[in-house]
Amino acid sequence: MSDAPSTIAPEFAGFFAALQERALAFPCCDTCARFHWYPMKACPHCRSSVISWRRIAGTGSLYSWTTVRHAFDPAWRDRLPYIVALVEFPDAPGVRLIANVAADPESLAIGMAVTPCFDDGVAIGKSGVTFVPAGNA
Ligand SMILES: [Zn+2]
């Protein structure tokens, strides 16, 4: 966690610690074994406060996306167009992660498999993870 930006809220520490090891992890309730996202102090399903970060395989599917064609911040103008997506994971039911997808927007389809790229240089912005269509990683 030492290399993570200091602006990261502490409740997201487990997510970013996993990213630094090129993995995805989400909070999972130790009582009811259900995932949730975003991190919460109590499980939204059973209200237990016994929650652990669990790593997942990382392969996901595209739930939805939008193509951003206008920069709301001038700093993002050079990246246009870019894709902001909701990605689901078969081994973390209930989690939908907002992330960038690096692909031709016309090539995307709901439910298509995507895999994470943990790359500081290629990722749009500094999120630490960008998804690409499976087979293109
Ligand atoms: Zn629970």
pLDDT of residue 2: 41
- When pLDDT is cut at 50, 70 and 90, the band that residue 119 belongs to is low
- Is residue 6 scored above 90 in pLDDT? no
Give the residue extent of every domain in the chain: 1-56, 57-137
Ligand 1 center–CA 36 separation, angstroms? 9
pLDDT by residue (tens digit) across 10-65? 888 899 889 888 999 999 999 999 999 999 999 999 999 999 999 999 899 999 99
Considering only the C-alpha atoms of the chain, give the largest distance between any 2 of them, rounded to a whole number of Å: 46
**pLDDT tier at 125 (50, 70, 90 boundaries)?**
very low
Q: How far is the CA of 1 from the centre of ligand 1 (A)?
A: 26
* CATH classification for the domain delimited by 57-137, as one of 3.90.45.10, 2.40.37.10, 3.50.50.60, 2.40.50.840: 2.40.50.840
Alpha carbon of 31 to ligand 1 centroid (Å)? 5
Distances, alpha carbon 43 to alpha carbons 36, 109, 113, in Å = 7, 32, 28
